[in-house]
Chains A and B, each alone.
Chain A
Amino acid sequence: MELSPVFFYVFGALAIACALMVVLAKSPVTSAFSLILVFFAFAAIYAMLGAHLIAALQIIVYAGAIMVLFVFVIMLLDVTRDTGEAGKPHPILMALSVLAAMSLLAVFVWAFKNTGTPAILGPFTTEAITAAGGNTQVVSELMFSEYILPFELTSVLLLGAIIGTVAIAKRQMSAARKGGGK
């Protein structure tokens, strides 16, 4: 893999530190901004792995759209106020969670380390991708040929999500209006 070790370790350490901040920060605003840094570090690693389109989408969709939505909801609910007294979890629960995560992590690392190198490789070598016009062109051509059906289904999913979101918000609004009228 054409991954530069220095940059991988720099961005990896940044991502791990910020991910820990997401979990450990008191205020949800701190968590949200740490999460944005995690997304940027991931985008850098995607770009180094050669997935240029995914790196761009990561920044546009995750850091641009999803996190704006999160920050907007935090602002709307004004939750910075009432997180102080939200008590810490039970120490036993916390210890068990960390233990479970650590043991699963050990299993994953062991499995990844002991998996042999794959025997069957696909046709998309670095040279083939460069010859075909770069990562973005290759992914886009696949998206509109081989993966056209999932791509169209994605639009149905997004439509469903839009309708669901509006339905949830609308029912609450009419309930609030009814409650206010009484």
Chain B
Amino acid sequence: MNQVEPWVVLSFSSIIFMIGFTGILIRKNILVILMCIELMLNAVNLTFVTYSTLLQDMAGQMSVFFIITVAAAESAVGLALVIAMFRTLRSVSTEEIQLLRE
């Protein structure tokens, strides 16, 4: 077998997706959580590109283009929010976000 089966590539991208998913659940540092979101977006992008090759259709690669744009916008706004949060709370830990509880 001199070929990589499509399901291996798709499983690889789900492994990366699940690593990002676990990171979001267990990490407290909000910067690392944003990085894990980027990991998950990348895993989905790889699934799109794999299916684009598999189905010989370009719609998948167009979707990836738009996802990359949205990811750039998302991380810019997300990091601005992190800076705003750091100015208010002097911390980047999600445990400190409890202003509504007080």
Contact = CB atoms under 8 A, between A and B. Distances in A.
Give the secondary structure class of A's interface.
helix
B99 interface: no
Given A1-B54, A70-B34, A101-B18, A161 B76 contact: yes
Interface of A: 1, 3-5, 8, 12, 15-16, 19-20, 22-23, 28, 31-32, 35, 38-39, 42, 45-46, 49-51, 53-54, 57-58, 61-62, 65-66, 69-70, 73-74, 76-77, 79, 82-83, 86-87, 89, 93-94, 97-98, 100-102, 104-105, 108-109, 112-113, 115, 118, 120-125, 135, 138-139, 142-143, 147, 150, 154, 157-158, 160-162, 164-165, 168-169, 171-172, 176
Contact of A19 (B19, B27, B65): B19
Contacts of A102: 18
Contact of A22 (B7, B39, B58): B39
A-B interface, 7 closest residue pairs, ranked by CB to CB distance from nearest: A122-B57, A161-B73, A23-B23, A97-B25, A108-B14, A101-B18, A112-B10
Interface in B37-75: 38-39, 42, 45-46, 49-50, 52-59, 61-62, 64-66, 68-75
Tell me the dominant secondary structure on chain B's binding face: helix
